[in-house]
């Protein structure tokens, strides 16, 4: 998470905010640089944008090999940072009540079952750090979709995967 104006913000929330801002065109390296800035504190959103712009300026004159090394690994394609946020009312129609119950109570029941530890951070798609707790839930049975609960400090967020083929997930952040 990155703190902006005293508020801790999820990386996926910052991606969505920057992409929605007509005055700040999205740069393809921003997601990589947000990962590098993870944990930092900024007084204002323009200060964060300036930090991202400074990284972009560092790309000048880099060939493709050096650019890839400079950016580092970006989030996985099926992580919350890469996928658009998903309104909870837009999940599979059979799951709406279950997802609302999970996001209200944080526990099993009402179509949510089998809470278990999960090793992947849904924000990035990488293995979770020790500062993050992640739990997986079955939605509408073991053959159904998946929900993931992520807690970092005092911030809890939820994610939805419309499929679970070959033990793979999509981590669309629920809003």
* 77 located within any domain: no
Number of domains in the chain: 2
Which pLDDT score is estimated for 165?
63
102 and 65 both lie in a single domain: no
95 and 136 both lie in a single domain: yes
140 and 63 both lie in a single domain: no
Q: Which of 15, 41, 71 is the last residue of a domain?
A: 71
pTM score over 0.85: yes
Domain that holds residue 146: 88-173
63 and 101 both lie in a single domain: no
**Contact by Cβ (8 Å): 52, 142:** no
* 78 located within any domain: no
> 170 CB contacts (<8 Å, ≥6 apart)?
78, 83, 160, 161, 162, 163
Residues 82-99 pLDDT 10s: 999 999 999 999 899 999
59 and 94 both lie in a single domain: no
Residue by residue, pLDDT tens for the chain (175 residues) are 999 999 999 999 999 999 999 999 999 999 999 999 999 999 999 999 999 999 999 999 999 999 999 999 999 999 999 999 999 999 999 899 999 999 998 878 888 887 888 899 999 999 999 999 999 998 887 667 899 999 999 999 999 998 776 667 889 999 9
* 99 located within any domain: yes
Q: Which of 71, 101, 130 is the last residue of a domain?
A: 71
* 83 located within any domain: no
161 and 95 both lie in a single domain: yes
93 and 162 both lie in a single domain: yes
């Amino acid at each position: 998470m990155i703190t902006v104006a005293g508020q801790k913000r999820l990386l996926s929330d910052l991606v969505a905010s920057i992409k929605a801002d007509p005055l700040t065109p999205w740069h393809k390296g921003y997601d990589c640089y947000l990962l590098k800035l993870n944990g930092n504190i900024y007084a204002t959103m323009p200060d964060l944008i300036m930090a991202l712009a400074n990284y972009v300026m560092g790309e000048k004159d880099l060939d493709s090999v050096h650019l890839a090394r400079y950016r580092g690994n970006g989030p996985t394609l099926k992580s919350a940072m890469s996928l658009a946020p998903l309104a909870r009312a837009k999940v599979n129609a059979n799951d709406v009540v279950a997802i609302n119950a999970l996001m209200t109570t944080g526990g099993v029941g009402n179509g949510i079952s089998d809470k278990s530890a999960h090793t992947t951070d849904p924000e990035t798609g990488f293995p979770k750090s020790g500062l993050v707790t992640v739990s997986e839930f079955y939605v509408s049975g073991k053959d159904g979709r998946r929900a993931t609960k992520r807690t970092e400090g005092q911030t809890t967020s939820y994610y939805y995967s419309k499929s679970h083929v070959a033990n793979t997930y999509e981590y669309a952040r629920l809003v």
